Structure 1
Amino acid sequence: MSNDVYVLGVHTTAFGRRPDASIKDLTREAYLGALADAGLETGRDIEAAWFGNCLMYYWGQALTRGNIAFIPLVREGLFPDRAPIVNVEGACATGSLAIAGAAKEIRAGDADVTLAIGLEKLFDQKDPRAIFPHFAGGMDLLDPQEWEAEYSAIGEKIGVPFRPGEDRTIAMDTYAMQANYHMATYGTTAEQIAVGAAKNHCNGALNEKAQYRFEMTPEEVLADRPISAPLTRAMCAPMGDGAAAAILCSERFLKTQPAAVRDRAIRIAGLGLAGGKYRGLDEPSLTRAAADKAYAQAGIGPRDIDLAEVHDATSFCEIYQCEMMRFCEEGEGGAFVGSGATKIGGELPVNTSGGLVSKGHPIGATGVSMCYELATQLRGEAGARQVEGATYALQENGGGIIGMEEALAAVSIYERIR
């Protein structure tokens, strides 16, 4: 019997500022939505859950986050009362790590049905900026002088001083420096970054789950409020609340399900993880290493990918990750995105959901929400943003910062079995 893993059911809440929805409310909405999508009345078949979250401690709950969030669901018999809930945290890659843990449990033969769920509440109605300092936890706070020196040296090299600001998260300043280095090295332009941002805002306008649902032109993106040069507000992911869940199963379990359920199942063809480091500036990032692992596991290459969701915490990231995923050559990401190649109907649609800059970025939920978008696309259920005839879809999700790259990254490849 194969140890293949399938996405049986998946769901995401709408992302945005949801002050009236509690952590337990969001958990319930995502979980019950995934159950319904999988054709399951209850979660009695689920043998383990992997719960992704980073900042629940801000709201007063640490250590046993998922276990507490599921108390009502266990009490009501909707989730098995002795199934373990494993808490997962990995900065912005948290959701993909939950999927990886749930998938590996099935691959190992330890379970036939598992749950991956990610959740975050980032909007504090009383003080929206109070959560800003907590994002620095994704960087080295034990020896901060190391990354401060790294970015200062790069800024001096390219003539763009590294000057963090209190009106934004430190992550935006590090992304800005990465963008500035790429621009100085390869000639990438702010206009090319704006093309990608505008494209994603237009995609998000078609996505009922997106935090921002309005179209933008590249000119409007460039004219928006500056955040950290060259990045404007429209090029940066907003903060919001949301949750997403995916029910995974083995091939053995899938064969016991009705044909209507089997026909919508999506195979996880490849899944690669990689760790970050202080890399050389001319060295490919950890996401390249994760992608190569995923391609090898799936037995395919970049040219086989029909669409992708990549981690555009800023719109520069889409340019860079297209290079790291081998969709184009290194240094050519700006021209690739700027040409319209990543639009729906283009050579390789990227971030059909609207990406993080439009769909939103509730940290722990992001990776699972990418799975939702790609499963929806591969099933042919994406409506106005549908990519026709897609067989393979790729998801790239990175978290934390070490030098000029993330601390951890995951790349998943999904396949529609026809």
Structure 2
Amino acid sequence: MGPVYLIGSHMTAFGKRPDMSFKALANEALEGVLADAGFADGNMIDSIWFANSAMGAVGQGSIRGQVSLSDAFADGRLRIGTPVVNVENACASSSTALNGAWKDILSGQSRCVLAMGLEKLFDPAPADDAAKAKALGGFMAGADMLEPRNWIDYYKAVGRDLGVPFEIGPGRSPFMDTYAMQAIWHMRHHGSTAWQLAAAASKAHGLGALNPNAQYRFKLTPDEVLADRPVSGPLTRAMCAPIGDGASAALLVSADMLRGLDRRVRERAVRIRASVLEGGSYRRPDEPGCLERAAQRAFAQAGLSARDIGVVELHDATSFGEIHIPESLGLCAKGAAGPLAEAGETGLHGRLPINPSGGLVSRGHPVAATGLAMIHELTSQLRGEAGPRQVPDPRIALAQNGGGVMGFDEAITSVTLLEAA
């Protein structure tokens, strides 16, 4: 298998963007990724992997990518006949699209592939539109809605063991309740604290304030994080990622195609060293899960180890993600991530820089656009183009993006390893 390179990346601004339609966001992401690669159009693209989770809530199922990119096909920016593969995999949708694009090139069937993630979750319509709310909730479930007792009973059993009742509360996402229970379990078994969660959230908001594409661009102290509105104890609002609108994209090429491109494109290319998807299961809370397996497979695929990682983007749907995910990926020992966050070691100049973009907590979480937004940030870091968020001279970067819930596991997780040219 020959190496695969990323030559273009882009993300739109994330946030509440009622002025932007699905097609407008797709066009913005396409124009941005082509410009980043130095291409006037996308006629060299052999295939497209398009990720979206919630478009069905507005009546567009199945051919979401074809419809969203129809203007580009009509005006010649994309070649008529280019196949579009639609991907829906909860919060890991666009990382799944990247994995598919990568495999397209490895298979030898394509030399240039576009991966794109797109989501619009902010609806300015009246809140009493119950039908739309129900549709959106169904499309965004990310959990077993055929037999919801599977995960509800799982968490209730964990709650009984901890002496903390598991209850799904009104006015908030059930995901926040499951993350809160995981955080409580970690606190009891590995000694993490609410202050460490607050330190991670404070760091995320500080870096998001430096990111012009972030949904939240304000700083918060750990004390302010802890004093924010409670969501599901120990989580406060400032520890939880906001959903919104946005798109992201990456353009991948084979090694032989890269050799024929301009020198500046070759110099800015980023090599994909590994791309792994791993499924979760209803495991015991103390058992290794899909994160551990995915990291092990990715490091083996790339011939690298955790010691090689210079910068990380991970799925902090809540700030608890910055506590348990580095431990599960083997980037630090169990129980060590909380103290690292508290000591500032996950900041730009720390021992393990995590989420220089501001992460989901500050950059925002338009679900199907999140994975490729991580890739965009890490591409910028490896190119030395991240501006005030730049980590000093990273060579290897890791992205972890999860989707859905299977007990204490994600339903699907992605680990991607990138290397500077």
The TM-score with structure 1 as length reference comes to: 0.98
State whether residues 271 and 293 of structure 1, in contact with CA within 8 Å, keep that contact through their aligned partners in structure 2: no
Give distance in 2, aligned partners of 1:29 and 1:133.
27
Please state whether the residue corresponding to 2:249 is helix, strand or coil. Answer: strand
Residue 208 of structure 1 aligns with an amino acid whose one-letter code is: P
Which residue is equivalent to 2:330? 326
Residue 278 of structure 1 aligns with an amino acid whose one-letter code is: Y
State whether residues 275 and 409 of structure 1, in contact with CA within 8 Å, keep that contact through their aligned partners in structure 2: yes
State whether residues 90 and 140 of structure 2, in contact with CA within 8 Å, keep that contact through their aligned partners in structure 1: no
Q: Out of 347, 364, 378, which is 1:374 matched to?
A: 378
Which residue is equivalent to 2:92? 93
Residue 77 of structure 2 aligns with an amino acid whose one-letter code is: L
Give distance in 2, aligned partners of 1:355 and 1:53.
20
Shift of 1:80: 1.1
Q: Aligned pair 1:20/2:19, yes or no?
A: yes
Give distance in 2, aligned partners of 1:128 and 1:101.
37
Tell me the matched-pair count.
Answer: 416
Deviates more, 1:255-264 or 1:121-130: 121-130
Q: Aligned pair 1:78/2:82, yes or no?
A: no
Residue 396 of structure 2 aligns with an amino acid whose one-letter code is: Y
Q: Out of 301, 304, 318, which is 1:300 matched to?
A: 304
Residue correspondence of structure 1 range 3-402 to structure 2 within 5 A:
3-127=2-126, 130=133, 133-134=137-138, 137-402=141-406
- The alignment-based identity, stated in percent, is 50
Cα distance, 1:108–1:372 mapped onto 2, change above 3 Å: same
Shift of 1:331: 2.4
Give distance in 1, aligned partners of 2:170 and 2:70.
38
State whether residues 6 and 265 of structure 1, in contact with CA within 8 Å, keep that contact through their aligned partners in structure 2: yes
Shift of 1:135: 6.3
Give distance in 1, aligned partners of 2:177 and 2:168.
6
Residue 318 of structure 1 aligns with an amino acid whose one-letter code is: E
Shift of 1:246: 0.4
Q: Name structure 1 gaps, 5 residues minimum.
A: none
Give distance in 1, aligned partners of 2:344 and 2:126.
39
Please state whether the residue corresponding to 1:263 is helix, strand or coil. Answer: helix
The TM-score with structure 2 as length reference comes to: 0.97
Give distance in 2, aligned partners of 1:30 and 1:11.
6
Give distance in 2, aligned partners of 1:268 and 1:357.
26
Give distance in 1, aligned partners of 2:339 and 2:253.
40
Cα distance, 1:136–1:209 mapped onto 2, change above 3 Å: closer
State whether residues 14 and 363 of structure 2, in contact with CA within 8 Å, keep that contact through their aligned partners in structure 1: yes
Shift of 1:291: 1.0
Give distance in 2, aligned partners of 1:271 and 1:337.
27
Please state whether the residue corresponding to 1:134 is helix, strand or coil. Answer: helix
Shift of 1:332: 2.3
Give distance in 2, aligned partners of 1:56 and 1:217.
36
TM-superposition CA deviations, 1:173-219 (whole Å, max 9, x none): 11111111111112211000000000000000000010000111100
Give distance in 2, aligned partners of 1:209 and 1:48.
27
Shift of 1:333: 2.1
Cα distance, 1:291–1:127 mapped onto 2, change above 3 Å: farther
Deviates more, 1:386-395 or 1:126-135: 126-135
Q: Aligned pair 1:407/2:407, yes or no?
A: no
Please state whether the residue corresponding to 1:270 is helix, strand or coil. Answer: strand
Shift of 1:128: 5.8
Give distance in 2, aligned partners of 1:244 and 1:255.
26
Shift of 1:226: 0.5
